[in-house]
Amino acid sequence: MKSLLRTLALALVIVAPAAVADTLLIRGIEQDRAMWNERPARGSTMTMVDSRYGKPERIVQPVGDPPITRWVYGDFTVVFEHDRVLHSVSHR
């Protein structure tokens, strides 16, 4: 009987943290999905981003070949290759 209780207690100690971690991960994904709709879509032009979101707080000048430019807004950063959006990343 003690062996069974020890096994159950050990299983609970191992499984419980994993269940909590999964829940936190799912909440994070839901928040990212909600924020995704508020950021520029991949393939948008600089002109489209400027007209919808306005002027960025800061522009990081182009680097490399092809040129990669970053526009930094309050809640997110937009990464461009030439004049097209590659990624838009939320600030945490």
Encode pLDDT of 11-59 as tens digits.
656 665 655 555 555 665 555 555 455 889 999 999 999 999 999 999 9
Which residues on adjacent β-strands are paired with residue 69? Answer: 80
**Is the pLDDT higher at 74 or at 7?**
74
At residue 81, the pLDDT reads 97
**Which residue from 17, 21, 19, 76 is spatially nearest to 44, judged by alpha carbons?**
76
**Which residue from 85, 39, 40, 77 is spatially nearest to 58, judged by alpha carbons?**
77
pLDDT of 67 strictly over 80: yes
